[in-house]
Amino acid sequence: MVLRAILFLMVLLISGCRSTNIEVIAHRGASGEETENTIAAIKKAIELNTDAIEIDIWRTKDDSIIVFHDRHTARLSNDSLIIPEAYFADLRNLTLKGNRKIPTLREVLEILPDDMKLFIEIKCCWEVGKAGEVFPMLSELLEETGKTSQAVIISFNPDKLVEASDFLPDVPTYWLVWENKPVDELIEKALDYGVDGLDVNYGILSNELLSKASMNNLEIYVWTVNDPVLAEKILAEYPGIKGITTDHPDLIKKIVIQK
């Protein structure tokens, strides 16, 4: 009787802690709860125990790597500065929505738990000259903070992903895609650029894409899914995806765990 009771309790514990291979990535931190790409948003995502966090990075005029999405600050701040043309001190002095500040990448890396991935989108991927040269600094910073093994590089510019692999050969790279192009074209280009997979807008998901990606050892991530009903539909129709990026990691995590 005692053994049977112990086994029953073990079954309950296992079912209550059911794991999944589908990763939930907090978009710009838990941006549905806190101001995007801020330390508050990162801490909230950590608190919600998401699988990974996605952030955006730029190189400033005085060679700092900062975490911010837009090329200029007007949408979130009390002033409008062009990030690759601005000094870090001036960017730091801005007040963002929610009375937050623009963080450096180092500050994010220093609070990142050792078991959590960090998806780093290269926002300066289309900049010319020094403003676009981020990888020597990024690779050094990841090494200094001991976070290289947790990093994932994503970009809409596949040329930048080739550059990423030159400096960070062991870090996975994923090509961000939003255009509904022919699947064969997407697969061929991904293979040509040597990326590990595609990170696509959920609107262009298809069974053909998943099937041909799998045949070519390419993984598929999806962005940005905030509606739990939509997340449930995607998981039901496309069980082969690797992960879902969302502003609300707590809501989407519940759906993923149920599957």
Reduced to 3 states, what is the DSSP secondary structure of residue 207?
helix
Greatest CA separation for the chain: 73
DSSP class of residue 147 equals -
What is the SS3 assignment for 173?
A: strand
pLDDT at residue 15, rounded to an integer: 33
Q: CATH code for 20-258? A: 3.20.20.190
How crowded is residue 95: how many other Cβ atoms within 10 Å of its Cβ? 13
Task: Pick out the chain residues at pLDDT < 50.
Answer: 1-19
147, 118 Cβ separation under 8 angstroms: yes
Beta carbons of 187 and 181 less than 8 angstroms apart: no
User: What is the pLDDT at residue 7?
Assistant: 34
Phi, psi of 159 (to 5 degrees): -60, -35
DSSP conformational letter for 28:
T
Sign of CA dihedral 201, 204, 210, 213: negative
Place of tokens 């262009």: 204
Helix (H, G, I), strand (E, B) or coil at 244: strand
Report the pLDDT value the prediction gives residue 19, as an integer from 0 to 100.
40
pLDDT at 1: 43
With residues binned 3-state (H G I as helix, E B as strand, rest as coil), the percentages for the chain, rounded to 5, are 45, 20, 35
Element (H, E) at 122: strand 117-122
pLDDT at 238: 96
pLDDT at 20: 59
Q: Do residues 183 and 204 touch, judged by C-beta distance below 8 A?
A: no
Residue-wise pLDDT tens digits, 31-80: 999 999 999 999 999 999 999 999 999 999 999 999 999 999 999 998 99
Give the separation between CA 159 and CA 55, rounded to whole angstroms.
20
Q: Are 59 and 124 in contact (CB under 8 A)?
A: yes
pLDDT of residue 60: 98
Q: What's the rounded Cα separation, in Å, for the pair 86 and 62?
A: 8
State residue 258's pLDDT score. 85
Q: Residue 37: what pLDDT? A: 98
Sign of CA dihedral 189, 190, 195, 199: positive
> What's the confidence (pLDDT) of residue 12?
34
Q: Which pLDDT does position 114 carry in this prediction?
A: 97
Place of tokens 């061929």: 188
**Domain map (residue ranges) of the chain:** 20-258
